[in-house]
Structure 1
Amino acid sequence: MKANYRRCVSCRCTNHKKTFWRIVKVYLSQKVQLDKGIGRSAYLCPNETCLAIASQKNRLGRGLRTSIPQDIYKKLWKRLESESA
């Protein structure tokens, strides 16, 4: 894979990392947060299909090797609504 390219955990497509949402499990605190932090990361396409599959099949949880709080999914759905509006 080229430098700065990542793969969506849901649809498995590759693209530049700036086109994806980044979900991070922070190294020391083990908290899951959006966009910033140092630790294990998972990338997700900013569309409804990928977000629905990721939440239904726990793709983010498997990619980050932890459980994903529901508020993370709520924030992602709100972000999707605001970007599409």
Structure 2
Amino acid sequence: MKPNHRRCVSCRAIAPKPNLWRVVRQHDTGTVQLDQGLGRSAYLCPTTSCLSMAQKKNRLSKALRVSVSETIYQQLWQRLQSSSSLETGSNRSMTQS
């Protein structure tokens, strides 16, 4: 089966859907949440440059057509930090062996 591709709202790169973060505006409530739900979605590369540009230029709010709270950005920054620390840890274990 052919993978679904989506475009990052920040850098405009096209990537397979599982490689991007999904931010969703719920259809029934209009609230914004991460990863799942029914409604309008925006996708973002899990990189520092894309996240900082999206926050600085308000790209998620424009794509979702609703204001995105600071807590969503904080959750994304935490997710980015945890993924980079996992990568750093795996790189260390590879260099030590």
Question: With structure 2 as the length reference, what TM-score do the two structures score?
Answer: 0.85
Structure number with larger C-alpha Rg: 2
Quote the sequence identity (%): 52
Shift of 1:3: 5.7
- Cα deviation code 1:58-79 (max 9, x no counterpart): 0000000000000000000000
1:26-58 per-position Cα deviation (integer Å, ceiling 9, x unaligned): 000100000010000000000000000000000
Letter in 1 for 2:64: L
- Distance (Å, rounded) in 2 between the aligned partners of 1:70 and 1:15: 26
Give the 3-state SS of the residue equivalent to 1:60 in structure 2.
helix
Please give the residue correspondences for 1:1-85 in structure 2 after superposition, counting only pairs within 5 Å.
4-85=4-85
Query: Which secondary structure does the structure 2 equivalent of 1:79 belong to?
Result: helix
- 4+ aligned runs moved over 3 Å, structure 1: none
Q: Is the 8 A contact 2:3 2:17 kept in 1?
A: no
Unaligned runs of 5+ in 1: none
Select the structure with the greater relative contact order (CA < 8 A; seq sep ≥ 6). Answer: 1
Q: How many residues align?
A: 84
What are structure 2's unaligned runs of at least 5 residues? 86-97
TM-score between both structures, scaled by the size of structure 1: 0.96
